[in-house]
Structure 1
């Protein structure tokens, strides 16, 4: 079947399975009398249509809202108008859930015609070619995929709503109209948001829902498929791994404390044992033969006690559980014809993957905090730092690090951050002893600028009771800014050649993980420069690791939208050439990425397999098209520099911050109770500084404006520059032959497809912001025009019609939310009435939920 026919078939299935069913069930949903105003559901379609018409005419949000009430509900006062807007919001945010559920329920049908990039595709390609099969098997011996769940606030369905969605998806698969009707009613009555901000432990509980209900099954199924195809069961390396940040990531989050880390580690342990116990109950129903009673009873006791009666100081029981299962398996084979051995193997595979910890709890802290801790503890363990230590050259600073051992216990009167850091370092050892070494073995240093940042952290461990020859910790630098990425390879060479660190790496199997942050680099340098800086850093870091025979793993800190490193992520990994280490794929998944790509077992398996295949395929089928030669590198570098200059000019514009503060919900994001993290790193009431603003708040503010500046700004100027220099054919060639460049451009188009400058078009006549808006809009139009010319298409995302259609429907659903939000923001800027200010604030905050949740296509 041709690709065109396949695409047409997928579009037909999507129209039938998703769009038609959404229209059907949405009409049912709108007739349910959920709220105080009985005709809200009947009135909503008119409101949506009115918003569409007003936006097409480039009317201001205020004019759209006022004309709607004048036309359709002329006899109500302002208070009742605001009440109606709140009711509309409640319906719309549930429409988003309904559309999510329908898409997920149809996933196996809409993707059946296009399984490219899955393990099944890989197996079909190699067929009976034993040589290729052996080559893949050899590659797998030094390969791993790690997905790390983080708690960034870009999606916020509480577990109660996720449970309804899960049941709704199952009912939709069979079109069980009675169940669907009841679930829609339940959805209508179930609150979507928290009245107070969640704690780090609350965030952990929300994400553990995905671990328990999705990843536990998806990873095990993928592992079984790999074992069946390539016999990987006996491999020394672990192919599939999970990481976890809630409760461990304290970078700038004052709410994460040592107790949070301890509680989350205990929760992860307890939940995985509950998963095991559920599986054991099925196993127990089948393994009913003589001779296995003792092992089965011992195993049941272990699983039950740890699942429901956890001890204060438990033990790592992974090897004991596997030993008991193995003894049962041997008896089944010897005396019972091997009956139900597959069930034993399934549980054993899961215990090998998840151990007693479920997911590795990563610890993360900023280098500036760690430097303060170093100053605090040094004199208390008898170490005298040289005078003016902070101002010493890097080489002199490293010479002053002695790596002495001590057993310092932090006193209660120490500064909170110092106490938390030192107590957490001691807690890590306890977690390892109780849940296993893999339970907590990674310490990430944010804002890592020099080798001494890592070496000083090692000192903190040694001064806290750890021993030089017993330090099972991976110290991981996080390079984020454009400047930090430039010196990353130099920093790592200093570490690779340092006697102590060299010995430490040898003890860790000469494996080094380096984290690269997309979000902050995009905020720091713009979309094109961020992607190019990270690409160059990966090339340089790979060369440095190979020089010193280091097994290098890149850990990519990616958000959901392309502006934060998301988009078609697996295509980035598939495009990596020989210059970039790609034996290990590690990336963060967060916010709407979790629900969109890993919200069900089907979608999770599909996306896990795509990432897995990308890592294998890039190694087995490397070709020159994915290897950038010097000419193409120079071309991208020119474009990145031009883009960077324009983006930095935008950042330095005197209206830049004020534009975001007044016209987006930036200042109110802290009131959206979806995260324990503050919107900025500084907790002071001083005026907002861009450098203090978290990348996620920065990107979210632009996405709420429907302008998505971080995802495209400067790309058009860069393309125009090389076109004016007569090098357009080279850019076209680059797009057609480089998987890296094509993915970057396609993701940029995805980001732009979520923009709609018509919504803010009224600002072009604004006395203060008119010229600033025009500047943003002009770059959008220039970028759009050149990207369409470059890709040879007529509309954005023409090559991805299903995703394009899905985005269009979602944008149509939430357009009224965007209009209401901008209306409320305009009202806030023009009133001093305290009661109205409070109401408009709530209106803005409520609209944020639905707009963000509908953005799952950004992932």
Structure 2
């Protein structure tokens, strides 16, 4: 950090002048004095408040770059520590596959149990385009260049030569002269392209390697169980299919997303085939290939005399030509060198895998198994995981849109003039009747509204892409705000309109697409078990579930439930919902797969994934897990192979452990504990509601004290910040809600209400406090909830937050809301320490403590300048530089906090 800061200082002095560097350095020194409690904030705040916009811009950019480079130094340090542990032969770290297998070995599991529990095993990180990644791709590329240079320094043992120093200085200079802000809002096409680059950066190499290791280790332990016949770890995406509140997700977007994904996969496979053919130069004069390999070589129609005795090269040229033909069929072009001979296309990835297996078997037959185990095996695994489609694109839409569209179709078809007027029972009767009929409701030339035509066109595009790329291309349809059986049946009827639900001769529907309800609000989560039971009790819908191997996916929303009821109430509602869903699935004889809609922040379900998965209720993981990866978290986890490996291993390891081991630790005490937490959650929800939903003027306070309006102007995503126009908290998306609280350092969604719940329940009774302490010691759920909350509280700074509160013009309202926040913060910190027995926040996380100590001083000037620029703008200064400075501070604070949205 000192090295990078020194280079940045040199660049600032050269580019902006010694006066700017002196200003920046003075602010930096003062910020660290504030962090050490040597001075209060008044002096720095007054100094920065007196700056003109141009000087403020220099300071904001300087500290934004300081934060970015500090993050980079921290990441490289973590890599260095992991390498050190590996070299020293340290025990496997928690969250690694090696540690998970050690735990499984100690458990003494039998093959039958492992085979049963891991049947259909699936772990899927699903990339979403939610707008919290503030960095431009260009900035990320320069940052990666700096990271590579620091790694070179590590490898050299710290020897700095002039050439290396020159490269580092040029990289930092480039960073300084590169705009941190985008000139225009990201388009959906940009988001699609941005997500796909992580495959080349890490996923193409890491995902197949993890699947190979998983299979190898599991089958070595239980050789007779035939474990993981299909890959356990696969990838997914919402970008281009998630149209809930995003008008830019259209039929063209679905086609573009799936086509770009397929192009990425096929380009990778074709390039690997070229490299493999270069490597496998074996001569038939020296080895004897198998007849099957010779047949594959002969079918290649490769007449080159230079390869006459090189059967592997000829065979692989034939495989390349067939895959190129597949690319032409799917994409209309070849993303690689054009073949000079046309061969029939592969219809399925399995056909390509069969040819690769032929090559591998032949290599092993003449003692070249080591070659078969190298690039060829990696390519085979990549084809098995990524196919021709790369990843599954989920579709999502709000249940209210389905209602409106279907009402229009039913009216147009003369089936029902006013579907929206029907009660739930009548809706179900009508919808099941439609699902028994093969005819569509409307034809291609029906005169429909723009909304209805757009929805049908999008579904038709999905159907076309599934026919082209296979059912893995679009495997799931998620229903936002799902609260009834009719919400699910409406989607089934709409899918039937485009042929994605077929009706058999027995009148029963079937579909390749999983219809997944999303339960988001506290009330919907509390009713989730009842809703799922009603869905599965409907015979026609149940036949669709049975046709998909008896698996039903349910998505759980972490963001809206938190915005609705607060941190503890939302977490407990999710836990309770999972318990209910597991019980319903068990009673109905279906396999439940949960899809966790987690964000990057604790207020949106974030926090360490390994601990979060292990803290799930018994039976809720069951070998299957899907989880969203959002915003800035994507770059933090997948920009480098080492990072990707660590994070994906954590997902898989936690899934194995949660599935095969007993982790809850409540034993026969569970029902009493659940009742206790029902009580705590109700108290926490009441305290949260008293502030957020019941305090007069709270929305006005929130909009004045946070940069939520200015956040909407930041060009960081294609999706609008609100589902609909309005001035209510319920109208605002969870992401800008959480992002805004992070910017002010209040972090309210990650803790508010918990202190009141704990304090009022304990009520001074030492036995009750001891009960909570004992549960904290043995229950992963409670321990994880408090650990994540402690992390948020450690990042909270109410002295800084008070400066944001000063932006509220109504002094009485300002104090009314802020005094409640301060009191609850003190209460929450006090109760957290009482329950955990710690003497300070983050006592259980020294690494994060060190990170905050090193990085947070760089936040100090950014916060003061953000408040000042907000004050000026709201006072009438709406100049371009003022607006840009506000956006730069938002960018810089988000960069330093790392998980802000």
| TM-score, normalisation: structure 1 | 0.90
TM-superposed CA distance for 1:133, in Å, is: 7.5
Q: Which residue of 2 aligns with 1:15?
A: none
Is 2:701 aligned against 1:659? Answer: yes
Once residues 730 and 629 of structure 2 are traced to their aligned partners in structure 1, the CA distance between those partners, rounded to angstroms, is 24
SS at match of 1:253: coil
- Of 630, 640, 643 in structure 2, the residue corresponding to residue 600 of structure 1 is 640
Q: 2:204 maps to which residue?
A: 216
C-alpha displacement of 1:448: 0.5
State the match for 2:755 in structure 1.
Answer: 716
- After superposition, the C-alpha distances for 1:260-302 in whole angstroms (9 at most, x for unaligned) are 1111111111112222233333312211233234431122235
The 3-state SS of whatever aligns with 2:126 is strand
2:864 counterpart (806, 819, 829): 819
**1:198–1:674 Cα contact (<8 Å) kept:** yes
The 1:741/1:96 distance shift into structure 2, 3 A limit, reads same
The residue that corresponds to 1:735 in the other structure is: 776
After superposition, the CA RMSD in angstroms is 2.7
* Counterpart in the other structure of 1:851: 893
Q: Aligned partners of 2:390 and 2:72: how far apart in 1?
A: 27
| Distance in structure 1 (CA, Å) of the matches to 2:93 and 2:707 | 40
Deviations 1:748-793 (A, max 9, x none): 1111111111113357884440232111011111101111121111
| Structure 2 match to 1:14 | none
In structure 2, the partner of 1:99 is 70
Q: What is the Cα deviation at residue 118 of structure 1?
A: 0.9
More displaced 10-residue stretch of structure 1: 248-257 or 152-161: 152-161
Counterpart for residue 381 of structure 2: 349
Aligned to 1:361: 393
Mapping of residues 117-266 of structure 1, within 5 Å: 117-125=95-103, 136=114, 139-175=117-153, 176-231=164-219, 235-266=228-259
Residues 1:427 and 2:461 are matched in the alignment? yes
Going from structure 1 to structure 2, the CA distance change for 1:487 and 1:294 (only over 3 Å counts) comes to same
Structure 1, unmatched stretches of 5+, are 1-21, 71-77
Does the 8 Å contact 1:566/1:858 carry over to 2? no
Is 1:297 aligned to 2:312, yes or no? no
User: Partners of 1:398 and 1:191 in 2: how far apart?
Assistant: 55
Q: Secondary structure at the match of 1:32?
A: helix
Aligned residue for 2:802?
A: 761
From the superposition, tell whether residues 416 and 295 of structure 1 become closer, same or farther in structure 2 (CA, over 3 Å): farther
Return closer, same or farther for 1:337/1:833 CA change in 2, 3 Å cut-off: closer
How far off is 1:376 after superposition?
Answer: 1.4
Cα shift readout 1:107-129 (whole Å, capped 9, x = no counterpart): 33334367112111133445699
For 1:512, the equivalent position in structure 2 comes to 552
CA contact (8 A) 1:750 1:858 kept: no
For 1:74, the equivalent position in structure 2 comes to none
Q: Secondary structure at the match of 1:706?
A: coil
Question: How big is the shift at 1:476?
Answer: 0.6
Instruction: Name the CA shift for 1:410/1:802 in 2 (closer, same or farther; >3 Å).
Output: farther
Q: Give the 5 Å matches for 1:537-686.
A: 537-623=577-663, 625-626=665-666, 629-651=670-692, 652-682=694-724, 684=725, 686=726
Residue 293 of structure 2 is matched in structure 1 by: none
Instruction: Work out whether residues 101 and 169 of structure 1, in 8 Å CA contact, stay in contact via their aligned partners in 2.
Output: yes
Once the two structures are superposed, residues 183-213 of structure 1 have per-residue CA deviations (whole angstroms, 9 ceiling, x without a partner) of 2222223333211101111111111111331
Q: For residue 822 of structure 2, what is the aligned residue in structure 1? A: 777
Residue 357 of structure 2, aligned match among 322, 326, 340: 326
How far residue 515 of structure 1 moved from its aligned partner, in angstroms, is: 0.3
**Gap change, CA 1:508 and 1:822, over 3 Å in 2:** same
Separation in structure 2 between the aligned mates of residue 159 and residue 842 of structure 1, nearest angstrom: 19
Alpha-carbon distance between aligned partners in 2 of 1:416 and 1:49, rounded to the nearest angstrom: 59
The 1:417–1:432 alpha-carbon spacing in structure 2 relative to 1, beyond 3 Å, is same
| 1:148–1:586 Cα contact (<8 Å) kept | yes
Q: Please state whether the residue corresponding to 2:378 is helix, strand or coil.
A: helix
Q: Which residue of 2 aligns with 1:832?
A: 876
Q: 1:104 to 1:51 in 2, by over 3 A?
A: closer
Q: Residues of 1 paired with 2:705 and 2:362: CA distance?
A: 70
Q: TM-score, normalised by structure 2?
A: 0.86
- C-alpha separation between the residues in 2 aligned to 1:539 and 1:306? 45
- Asked if the contact 2:803/2:867 (under 8 Å) is kept, the reply is no
2:735 corresponding residue in structure 1: 696
DSSP-derived class of the 1:197 partner:
coil
Q: Secondary structure in 2 aligned to 1:758?
A: helix
Residues 1:104 and 1:132: Cα distance change in structure 2 (over 3 Å): farther
Q: Which residue of 1 aligns with 2:884?
A: 842
CA distance in 2, matches of 1:91, 1:499: 63
Whether 2:275 is the aligned partner of 1:282: answer yes
Q: CA deviation at 1:795?
A: 1.6
Deviation at 1:569, TM superposition (A): 2.6
Q: Determine if contact 1:141/1:236 at 8 Å carries over to the other structure.
A: no
Whether 1:272 aligns to 2:284 is no
Cα distance, 1:519 vs. partner?
Answer: 0.2
**Cα gap change, 1:768/1:125 in structure 2, threshold over 3 Å: closer, same or farther?**
closer
Deviation at 1:602, TM superposition (A): 1.1
Residue deviations 1:378-436 (CA, integer Å, cap 9, x gap): 233x3512x65334332222111111233545559643332221111111121112222
Larger mean CA deviation between 773-782 and 838-847 belongs to 838-847
Does 1:24 find its partner at 2:3? yes
Question: Conserved in 2, the CA contact under 8 Å of 1:126 and 1:133?
Answer: no
Q: 1:35 to 1:582 in 2, by over 3 A?
A: farther
Query: How much does 1:500 deviate?
Result: 0.8
- Equivalent-residue separation in structure 2 for 1:202 and 1:483 (angstroms): 36
3-state SS, counterpart of residue 665 of structure 2: helix
Q: SS at the partner of 2:553? A: strand
Q: Tell me: CA distance 1:664–1:474, structure 2 relative to 1, closer, same or farther (3 Å).
A: same
Would the alpha carbon gap of residues 622 and 128 (structure 1) be closer, same or farther in structure 2, given more than 3 Å must change? closer
Matches of 2:511 and 2:114, distance apart in 1: 33
CA gap of 1:752–1:505, structure 2 versus 1, over 3 A, is same
Does 2:423 correspond to 1:390? no
Structure 2: how far apart are the matches of 1:606 and 1:100? 17
Range with bigger deviation, 621-630 or 657-666: 621-630
| Equivalent-residue separation in structure 1 for 2:771 and 2:103 (angstroms) | 32
1:668/1:845 contact within 8 Å kept: yes
Residue 464 in structure 1 maps to residue 498 in structure 2? yes
* Stretch deviating more after TM superposition (108-117 or 206-215): 108-117
Deviation per CA, 1:13-65: give whole Å up to 9, x if none: xxxxxxxxx1122112211147444543443121133356679699788x744
- Residue 241 of structure 1 aligns to a residue whose secondary structure is coil
Task: Report Cα offsets for 1:410-467 as digits up to 9, x if no partner.
Answer: 5596433322211111111211122221011211110111110110111111122342
Q: Map 1:396-415; keep pairs closer than 5 Å.
A: 396-401=426-431, 402=433, 403=435, 404-407=437-440, 408-409=442-443, 411=445, 414-415=448-449
Matched residue, 1:371: 403
1:534 corresponding residue in structure 2: 574
Distance (Å, rounded) in 2 between the aligned partners of 1:662 and 1:54: 26
Partner of 1:11: none
CA deviation map 1:647-669 (0-9, x unaligned):
11111212211112112110111
CA–CA distance in 2 between the matches of 1:265 and 1:488?
32
Query: Unaligned stretches of 5+ in structure 2?
Result: 154-163, 221-225, 283-309, 334-344, 505-509
Question: Are the aligned partners of 2:273 and 2:316 in contact in 1 as well (CA < 8 Å)?
Answer: no
